[in-house]
Amino acid sequence: MRHLLSIEDLDRPAIERIVAQAGRFAEVSDREIKKVPALRGRMVLNLFYEASTRTRSSFELAAKRLSADVVNFAASGSSVEKGESLKDTVLTLSAHKPDAIVLRTPWAGASELVSGWCSAAIVNAGDGKHEHPTQALLDVYTLRERFGKIDGASIWIVGDVAHSRVARSNILAFQRMGANVTVAGPPTLIPRAIEELGCQVRYTLDELHGADVVYALRMQRERMSETWVPSLREYAAWYQINGRRLTPNQVLMHPGPVNRGVELSGEVVDSPQAVITAQVEAGVVVRMAVLYELLAGAREPRALSGEIAADQRATGDHRPTAEQRATGDHRPAADQRAAAEQRATGDHRPTADVASVSGASPVVGGPLT
């Protein structure tokens, strides 16, 4: 994978691979020292032309946990305010030789344009109303953590679909993972011909009780040039997800930021059915996996399996595997398994491999290989 511009670039195996790698990075996030050397010496440039809390902070954290150097650029306070174009800004910052540029802009298609202007890997972190692929990946990750699989699940995406890049990426990603997707909202906020993406359309929430997952969208007023609903109060009366509409077995998602009292009532935001915080947590590990895939994984496609470690044992090549570099654990695979077993069993006597260099007595039963 050279860039991540759209979910259209990813088939199901690619989504599965990123989600699986994110799962491995989740283990790193549970460690006391949450850092691995996988991208040491690489540079990630976060180029944000739009406000962001979750996406920007999680990309920054993801790059730092992988030991990359990070440069954060926000359009406000930069030469953009003096009239510098996107192209000139990209060319200027490219002089620092970033390996990846994480780009958020209000312009649909901007990421694709930028991918033609420089040699860095481009990650689309939201381009206008078009796409937000890492949001879709972290949502797939969150649902997989919750349900194990998404195949056959009924997912309703409710609200301002017309102005939502999240809706477009998520319709594609959820369907690729086997879900049945329905979009629902006022007719003015559902784009014409959206069924061509394979989803169903509803203009009321009468059948919402049949959904396994309710994915609410914010009313994206910053992208509206006209009035699309009579008032927010009327919108909430018809489409707000609240305790009356959400049934106890449904999972509630939202990409954030939430407008409490508009698309969601306060009670459902704070209910155990809401996985909104889990989505934010997933953002870091999924973005680690995306950066890793673009900057390290692509060079060593077998790095995500145990095959290289097996080859090493056979050939006597003891350089660290890509997975070992990713997780920062440079012990041989057998030692890692032994240590994991010791953690699991609470048996802290040295393993045979440690014993052989330290002179201590080995674990009963010999080496755990």
CB of 253 to ligand MLT, least distance (A): 12
User: Which residues fall within 8 angstroms of residue 293, CB to CB, at 6 or more apart?
Assistant: 1, 17, 18, 21
Q: Residue 124 or residue 220: which is nearer to ligand MLT going by CB?
A: 220
CB of 277 to ligand MLT, least distance (A): 15
- Residue 176 as a binder of ligand MLT (CB under 6 A): the answer is no
Q: Name the packing angle between helices 165-176 and 133-147 (round to 10°).
A: 50
* 3-class secondary structure, 222: helix
CB of 255 to ligand MLT, least distance (A): 4
Task: Report d(CA 291, CA 285) in Å as an integer.
Answer: 10
In one-letter notation, the amino acid at residue 340 is A
Could you say which of 98, 186, 255, 320 contacts ligand MLT (CB under 6 A)?
A: 255
Could you say which of 135, 182, 279, 324 contacts ligand MLT (CB under 6 A)?
A: 135
Q: Residue 20 or residue 74: which is nearer to ligand MLT going by CB?
A: 74
CB of 217 to ligand MLT, least distance (A): 6
Q: Name the packing angle between helices 133-147 and 12-29 (round to 10°).
A: 70
Name the closest residue to ligand MLT (Cβ). Answer: 218
CB of 230 to ligand MLT, least distance (A): 21
- Residue 165 as a binder of ligand MLT (CB under 6 A): the answer is yes
- Residue 325 as a binder of ligand MLT (CB under 6 A): the answer is no
* 3-class secondary structure, 216: strand
* 3-class secondary structure, 184: strand
CB of 218 to ligand MLT, least distance (A): 4
Could you say which of 176, 218, 287, 325 contacts ligand MLT (CB under 6 A)?
A: 218
CB of 239 to ligand MLT, least distance (A): 15
Taking the alpha carbons at both ends of the chain, their separation in whole angstroms is 34
Q: Residue 132 or residue 287: which is nearer to ligand MLT going by CB?
A: 132
Could you say which of 220, 240, 250, 321 contacts ligand MLT (CB under 6 A)?
A: 220
In this structure, what is the dihedral angle of CA atoms 288, 31, 35, 357, given to the nearest 10 degrees? Answer: -120
For residues 47 and 101, the answer to whether their CB atoms sit within 8 Å is yes
For residues 303 and 322, the answer to whether their CB atoms sit within 8 Å is yes
Strand-pairing partners, residue 73, are 47
Q: Residue 70 or residue 216: which is nearer to ligand MLT going by CB?
A: 216
Could you say which of 44, 62, 123, 166 contacts ligand MLT (CB under 6 A)?
A: 166
- Residue 105 as a binder of ligand MLT (CB under 6 A): the answer is no
Q: Residue 21 or residue 135: which is nearer to ligand MLT going by CB?
A: 135
Strand-pairing partners, residue 127, are 105
- Residue 126 as a binder of ligand MLT (CB under 6 A): the answer is yes
Q: Name the packing angle between helices 12-29 and 276-295 (round to 10°).
A: 110
Total chain residues near ligand MLT (CB under 6 A): 8
Report 331-350 residues binding ligand MLT (CB under 6 A).
none
Can you say whether residue 261 is alpha, beta or left, with left for phi > 0 and alpha for psi between -120 and 50 degrees?
left
Indicate if the alpha-carbon torsion angle 10, 14, 18, 20 is positive or negative: positive
Candidates 324, 354, 320, 317; CA nearest to 339 is 354
- Locate tokens 């407008």: which residue? 259
Q: Residue 175 or residue 220: which is nearer to ligand MLT going by CB?
A: 220
Hey, how many other C-beta atoms are within 10 angstroms of the C-beta on 29? 14
- Residue 129 as a binder of ligand MLT (CB under 6 A): the answer is no
Q: Residue 42 or residue 132: which is nearer to ligand MLT going by CB?
A: 132
Q: Which residues sit at the interface with ligand MLT, rule CB under 6 A? A: 126, 132, 135, 165-166, 218, 220, 255
